[in-house]
Structure 1
Amino acid sequence: MILHISIDAHNPLQVATALAEVFNGKVYKFFTPGSYIVMPFDKYGTHIVVFKEGDVWVPGTDAESARVLQAEPTKLVANHAAISVPTTQKQIEQIGQREGWRVLTRKQGDGVPFSAIEFWVENRILFEFLPPEFTPQYLQTMQSQTIEKMFGQPIKLVPV
């Protein structure tokens, strides 16, 4: 279970505010200047940290914890997340359209294994949002029998 993730954004406050609306959550200033945390206060402690564009996590040295440094921003990123949200498909689409971000509702059977709403934050970071009516279908798709039909048998790991 993923409990929290971090992303960067050109306009962190705008992004955090839009995500808080999708999650029915609240926005707070985070520890790193110019960054925000979105808290929906669900039973899992889920949250999203929105850093300023170019902020990246770097490992610490020896016993030092990871820290955030400024790096060269990138246009697109490989990471994405599928997240169950309490809002409706229509609300999610309206929020994305209002922000000028790409929003596409994909339906199971149209070349995808489960229904989800592609929500492209700042048209560069992909979230797949699953409103309440989409979540049971996703959970059914993620069962071992279905996964093995899609991907085949799991790879047998050999100890090194």
Structure 2
Amino acid sequence: MTLLHVSISASDPARVAAFLAEVLAGEAQPFPPFPGCWIAFAETDDGTAVEVYPTTHRLVAGPATIACAVGETDTSATFAHVALASPLDRQAVIERATSEGWLARICNRGPFECVEVWIEGRLLVEILDPGMQADYRRGMTTANWKAMFSLE
């Protein structure tokens, strides 16, 4: 299985999508199905993307398909987060995030390191440069997980 796309919310969807597109070496575009939404495509242009919705928007089950409900702004922290592979090196990711005014730091997750970026100070995006991605793929296996946490 491969994650194809993910949706997040942001106070400034266009700005966040532009940042994510840069980190993914891709392109940000408006997301016309829902007002005020943006999408950041990865460089691979294979459908890998991050949809960015305003913090007022919620996906709901419509009568035949998903629908968009607009309500109160929710800028609270969330447990949901995403890890993204970037062709940029860790320092470039940190510099780009810092230029947005967001906390960015290298963190050790055990079997891999990542650049922890706090989008708008509320949403965690773990960004892995090519070296980090190799460690992630080697370390994040079912067998290694069981061994790390004594789940055997």
Scaled by the length of structure 1, what TM-score is found? 0.86
Shift in CA distance, 70/89, structure 1 to aligned 2, threshold 3 Å: same
- Measured against aligned partners, the alpha-carbon deviations of 1:116-158 in whole angstroms (never above 9, x if no partner) come to 110111111111111001111111111222111123437xxxx
| Match of residue 13 from structure 1 | 14
1:69 aligned partner: 69
Q: Does the residue aligned with 1:134 lie in a helix, a strand or coil?
A: helix
Counterpart residue type for residue 134 of structure 2:
P
Q: Percent identity?
A: 30
- Counterpart of 1:96 in structure 2 is 97
CA distance in 1, matches of 2:36, 2:149: 42
Secondary structure at the counterpart of residue 17 of structure 1? helix
TM-score by length of 2: 0.90
Segments of 5+ residues of structure 2 without an aligned counterpart are none
Q: Shift in Å at residue 43 of structure 1?
A: 6.0
Which residues in structure 2 correspond to 1:1-160 (within 5 Å)?
Answer: 1-31=2-32, 32-42=34-44, 44-61=46-63, 64-72=64-72, 73-107=74-108, 112-153=110-151
Give distance in 2, aligned partners of 1:59 and 1:127: 26
Q: Partners of 1:120 and 1:82 in 2: how far apart?
A: 12
In the alignment, the residues of structure 2 paired with residue 41 and residue 136 of structure 1 have an alpha-carbon distance, to the nearest angstrom, of 18
- Deviant stretches of 4+, over 6 Å: none
Computing the radius of gyration over CA atoms, which structure comes out larger, 1 or 2? Answer: 1
| CA distance in 2 between partners of 1:54 and 1:149 (Å) | 42
Match for 1:92: what amino acid?
V
1:35 Cα deviation (Å)?
Answer: 0.9
Would the aligned equivalents of 2:42 and 2:49 in 1 still touch at CA under 8 Å? yes
What is the CA deviation profile of residues 33-66 of structure 1, one whole-angstrom value per residue up to 9, with x for unaligned ones? 11111112416420011111221111223xx111
